[in-house]
Structure 1
Amino acid sequence: MSAPVVPSRTCEDWKQTFHGFWPGKPSFKEDKYPSLEGKVVIVTGGNTGVGYETVKSLAGSTKAKLYIFSRSEEKTLAAIKQIQLEVAKEYNVPNRDINFIKVDLSDLETIKPAVQKFLSQESRLDLIIHNAGVMTPPVGSESKQGYELQLGTNVLGPHLLQRLLDPIFIETSKKNAPGESRIVWVASSAHLSAPLGGFHWADLNFEKLKSPSMNEQMMIYGQSKAGNVIQARTWTRKHNTGSQIISSSVCPGFLSTDLQRNTPYLLTLLGKLLLHPRRMGAYTELFAAFSPDVKDGSHSISFGVPSYARKDIIEDEACDKAWNFFTEATDPYITWQDWKQVLHGFWPGKPSFKEDKYPSLEGKVVIVTGGNTGVGYETVKSLAGSTKAKLYILSRSEEKTLEAIKQMQLEVAKEYNVSNRDINFIKVDLSDLETIKPAVQKFLSQESRLDLIIHNAGVMMPPVGSKSKQGYELQLGTNVVGPHLLQRLLDPIFIETSKKNAPGQSRIVWVASTAHQLAPLGGFHWADLNFDKLKNISKNDQMTIYGQSKAGNVIQARTWTRKHNTGSQIISSSLCPGYLDTDLQRHASFMEKIIYSLTLHPRRMGAYTELFAAFSPDVKDGSHSISFGTQSHARKDIIQDEACDKVWDFLTEATNPYM
């Protein structure tokens, strides 16, 4: 195997290198930054080093909404507090809000959940600074996916992050002036030490290089920084965004930061004498972010000077080869159909399947769980106003439900001109399995048929540690185990009724969520279903736990007919009703509620999704619908028969004692 070849440095290369030691003073500073009011910015690794200073400068001199994407929640929250103190002191801006989302760029599996969390909070993205990185770690260090650690953390992680953010970023750029939307890839003059063409393709991880010298370690680091130069150079060409977006790379400067934490003691000591304060690096990064002198694909050096990257690295052939490798390496961690579904929730269009298309349901009986609030309320109201079905709300609070029914009757009379609409209530607490059989018995004492059931009730992100009466994590107990028992107890009357209806008229609607995309592999975390062993639960973790319960609903919808051999007579399907402003967010923080109020849709729209699943001829058994009546799909690993059977068997065993 041939040894890696590093081209000799030219005079211009050496000029760039020496510039790092004697760069002069920055001329593009805070007084030249735009206000960024209404804009959203992400800085990776913004809890330390140059990233810290970049966030601080943005916090003090702009009005952008700021997000730090980083690995350690504890360290980042501490850093944010310190940044806020310094911003108040240095810029006279008190209580500056800075947001944190947890991600580990060395582990590709953590990136999609982080982006999904961001997308659940924001509907735009104007600037991203790929600042996070690692430099000369212990020899042999690898990323979670087995890549040399610098290659994995500095290149592949950011590449996947950018790919997942591309849709919202490109969409936002259309609202901005040309060149306002930017991607800053933090590279280094160390890219001059990279192998010929940027990458040592014969041995990307340098596994054949035994006991690498310091020069060789810099070459390995240089390979990762060449990757950043290539990303900056190639992004716009691959996305055909013309002059609308500027993607560029920078060497922030020769700086004293935590990036040198793995270097030998003597080099660290030398660095203290030769390196510049990390704040100077922020000026370089923000020069690339805002200066009109920065062009797409360009490379800047300390502390805001346009420069160039090594020629053999930025040739199209070298760039395309690296780009194709990055794409292939990150493909397994991205499903564009999943992302299309996520983004659809923000811009779903108008519902086309509405009351004028609903059947009369005269003589039919319908149950809606949780029909006293939120989407359930709107679903019952729509049914009450536009059909003649006999309606039952199954919910926990008698007082609240009877009040809701009175209010609903007033609204139905006003909106649909239907007076004194009869709506029935049966008390049940889906978080307590012992209450479900008595509720079903009461229903059976009053009715001899059941044509439609909408499993709408649920809870989302309750206080950490909340449990159901039987000791299940509260969302698992309320959203999955409770509805499973309820359906089992109603199955006999429901199946019997279906025989009197035309094929496909009898339906079960399981209200899931696009959050099922955040569930563990296979849907359930079997090693710790209640997540009791997960300490210091982050918001990302909470979404995973909620996602597990919604994966359960998808599985119930997918599996019911197969387990009951009812053929085409009954349709069981799942849905995400939409990104809606409902009581489901009652456990969210104050700031999260403000964000939701700005990004979420009226709850009535969710009723159209639920009733699309209940009545549309386009809905097939086991299918999944999204807002506001669009056929979609569920995550593939969740709907495999093996995964479904494992969950179904668990739910059956869990509910057997209450049958």
Structure 2
Amino acid sequence: MGIAASVLSQTYPPKSKFHTDHVPDLTGKVIMVTGGSAGIGKDTARVLLARNAKVYIASYNADKAAAAIAELKRDTGKEAVFLKLDLADLPSVKAAAAEFIEKEPALHVLYNNAGMFVPPIDQLTVQGYDAQFGVHVLGHFYLTQLLLPALLAGAKASADGKARIVNTSSSASITASGINYGTLKDTSARKKLGKQGLYAQSKLGNIMLSNELARRYGEQGIVSTAVNPGNIKSDIQRHLPPVQKWFLTTLLLYDPPYGPLTQLWAGTAPEAAALNGKYLIPWARVGTPGKSGRDPKLSQELWTWLEEQVAAYA
């Protein structure tokens, strides 16, 4: 399937065979959703709470998280737990992971969901990385590495011997030919690649990270998938010019209830426990990533680069 056909299939998917009422009872499961205070993350957390999971909403904005937790409690009768996490600051990631592990012996599902879309091109993380790549890939890599002991404990404690990591990607990943490492700290290189290019390579990075997690930890009970949740109306489009935002909202974007479907399938459906290393597309289907997302050498190169970036914070 070519790039155009693949994007078309993901942009206009067939009717979903999976629905939120298919999510099983999650009593006893501990689940973390990064970026769970808004958009797809909040909608994912809503269903998880309704199915009796203990849900940690990991967010950098305490006030926004408090408002989301209150809303979700009104909707479900269940109260999520706030975890302070700034994925754009590696020491914050380390502190968040330490706080979580102090509270919970096991983590059953990690949703690496938090993200942004085409922010100002000079926006950087605290450590000076491109904001989109820093949050989507580097921050989530570090968080996942630090939470691996809890995830492995979650796998051992689960009836099926599995814990799941769901990495939110995008169909935009197909348009990226690889990771241009020169753009991750060099402003002139970022300007040349452009906001959309930076976004696409970060979403490719999510797939590569997911693939390498699957390769390294699959035999230990970790099920790592990358997910395109679909083109969903949310606050993530706030940085777009008004005309482009109107065009997308009118012609290409789906209503928010569609957003959590594929993520929930990946993280909770019994059959999805067999999908380690897969790329999942709307709505709750197995898809095929672009060429770079299928290259194990590129995934291993990214993993090495990521390890080098966080080494100073170990």
- TM-score (ref. length: structure 1): 0.46
Match of 2:16, SS? Answer: coil
Which gives a bigger RCO, structure 1 or 2 (Cα 8 Å, sep 6+)? 2
- Spell out, residue by residue over 1:166-194, the C-alpha distance to the aligned partner (whole angstroms, 9 max, x if none): 01111221122446411000011111122
How far, CA to CA, are the matches of 2:96 and 2:131 in structure 1? 20
Mapping 1:447-458, distance limit 5 Å: none
The answer to whether the aligner puts 1:116 opposite 2:94 as a matched pair is no
The answer to whether the aligner puts 1:318 opposite 2:298 as a matched pair is yes
* Contact 1:179 1:246 (C-alpha < 8 Å) held by counterparts: no
- Spell out, residue by residue over 1:62-94, the C-alpha distance to the aligned partner (whole angstroms, 9 max, x if none): 11111000011011101111122223xxxxxx3
How far, CA to CA, are the matches of 1:313 and 1:36 in structure 2? 31
How far, CA to CA, are the matches of 1:236 and 1:30 in structure 2? 26
How far, CA to CA, are the matches of 1:15 and 1:299 in structure 2? 16
CA separation of 1:312/1:272 partners in 2, compared to 1, >3 Å: closer, same or farther?
closer
* Contact 1:54 1:279 (C-alpha < 8 Å) held by counterparts: no
* Contact 1:178 1:245 (C-alpha < 8 Å) held by counterparts: no
Q: 2:233 aligns with which of 252, 256, 277?
A: 256
Mapping 1:201-350, distance limit 5 Å: 201-205=181-185, 207-209=187-189, 211-212=191-192, 216-239=194-217, 241-242=218-219, 244-274=221-251, 275-291=253-269, 292-293=271-272, 295-334=275-314
How much does 1:212 deviate? 4.8
Match of 1:47 in 2: 37
Which amino acid is the alignment partner of residue 147 of structure 1? Y
Match of 2:74, SS? Answer: helix
Match of 1:67, SS? Answer: strand
Q: 1:199 aligns with which of 164, 170, 179?
A: 179
Match of 1:20, SS? Answer: helix
How far, CA to CA, are the matches of 1:209 and 1:125 in structure 2? 39
Q: 1:82 aligns with which of 58, 71, 82?
A: 71
Q: 2:57 aligns with which of 64, 68, 71?
A: 68
Match of 2:57, SS? Answer: strand
* Contact 2:117 2:239 (C-alpha < 8 Å) held by counterparts: yes
Match of 1:242, SS? Answer: helix
* Contact 1:54 1:286 (C-alpha < 8 Å) held by counterparts: yes
User: RMSD between aligned alpha carbons?
Assistant: 1.8
- Spell out, residue by residue over 1:607-655, the C-alpha distance to the aligned partner (whole angstroms, 9 max, x if none): xxxxxxxxxxxxxxxxxxxxxxxxxxxxxxxxxxxxxxxxxxxxxxxxx
* Contact 1:47 1:70 (C-alpha < 8 Å) held by counterparts: yes
Match of 2:207, SS? Answer: helix
Match of 2:225, SS? Answer: strand
Greater share of residues in helix: 2
Match of 1:140 in 2: 122
How far, CA to CA, are the matches of 1:187 and 1:309 in structure 2? 10
- Spell out, residue by residue over 1:363-395, the C-alpha distance to the aligned partner (whole angstroms, 9 max, x if none): xxxxxxxxxxxxxxxxxxxxxxxxxxxxxxxxx
CA separation of 1:20/1:251 partners in 2, compared to 1, >3 Å: closer, same or farther?
same
Match of 1:542 in 2: none
Match of 1:123, SS? Answer: coil
- Spell out, residue by residue over 1:488-513, the C-alpha distance to the aligned partner (whole angstroms, 9 max, x if none): xxxxxxxxxxxxxxxxxxxxxxxxxx
Moved over 4 A (4+): 210-213
- TM-score (ref. length: structure 2): 0.94
Which amino acid is the alignment partner of residue 181 of structure 1? A
How much does 1:218 deviate? 1.4
Which amino acid is the alignment partner of residue 309 of structure 2? A
Matched residue count: 311
The answer to whether the aligner puts 1:171 opposite 2:153 as a matched pair is yes
Give me the identity figure in percent. Answer: 30
- Spell out, residue by residue over 1:416-436, the C-alpha distance to the aligned partner (whole angstroms, 9 max, x if none): xxxxxxxxxxxxxxxxxxxxx
How far, CA to CA, are the matches of 2:17 and 2:161 in structure 1? 20
How far, CA to CA, are the matches of 1:44 and 1:192 in structure 2? 24
Match of 1:595 in 2: none
CA separation of 1:112/1:25 partners in 2, compared to 1, >3 Å: closer, same or farther?
same
CA separation of 1:252/1:179 partners in 2, compared to 1, >3 Å: closer, same or farther?
farther
How much does 1:226 deviate? 0.8
Which amino acid is the alignment partner of residue 114 of structure 2? A
How far, CA to CA, are the matches of 2:113 and 2:85 in structure 1? 13
Mapping 1:169-568, distance limit 5 Å: 169-178=151-160, 180-194=162-176, 196=177, 198-205=178-185, 207-209=187-189, 211-212=191-192, 216-239=194-217, 241-242=218-219, 244-274=221-251, 275-291=253-269, 292-293=271-272, 295-334=275-314
How much does 1:259 deviate? 1.3
